[in-house]
Amino acid sequence: MSEDLFSIPLTTITGQAKTLADFPAKAILVVNTASECGFTPQYKGLEQLWQTYRDSGLMVLGFPCNQFGHQEKGNNQEIAAFCELNFGVTFPLFAKIEVNGANTHPLYLYLKSRAPGLLGNQAIKWNFTKFLITEQGQKIERFAPVTKPEALTEKIVQGLNLSRLG
């Protein structure tokens, strides 16, 4: 297990101190989110992945961010309520963070350095960029905001070492 990754301090949307080690999983999907984005309906797909695969070892983690078009203006309590009321989100959400710039959260520094974007650029381009962490942190894959959650099913199944059903 990559100790640096799993010991990075995180704060849940309700203010609890955690690390990735507190979320035992075979595969972890990390997503920077926003409530007023064209990709916001992806919350529904993320919740569906969580409901379908959590008992098999998938963890979905949402990290609200207001850096792209100021599309996450609410406070943590408002964000949590929005996600639950509009999309039935039950997967863990975290306190609002920054994913680019001088105040980039350490989790995103780590993920971006291990899985840079197009042409090696590390910057997150927009809300709903996704990172899939598998193999105890040894494998990290990055997916663009336009990649719908359901398009990650095969990668998740592989990361969970499951046989695809149906």
Name the phi and psi angles at 26, rounded to 5: -85, -25
Q: Are the CB atoms for 129 and 142 separated by under 8 Å?
A: yes
DSSP-based three-state secondary structure for 61: strand
**Rounded-to-integer distance, Cα 82 and Cα 160, Å:** 30
DSSP-based three-state secondary structure for 32: strand
**Rounded-to-integer distance, Cα 72 and Cα 33, Å:** 8
37 given a catalytic annotation: yes
Identify the active-site residue in 25, 30, 37, 152: 37
Structure tokens at 88: 């039935």
Q: Are the CB atoms for 92 and 62 separated by under 8 Å?
A: yes
**Rounded-to-integer distance, Cα 143 and Cα 73, Å:** 24
Q: Are the CB atoms for 32 and 65 separated by under 8 Å?
A: yes
Structure tokens at 103: 């105040």
Which residues are known to be catalytic? 37
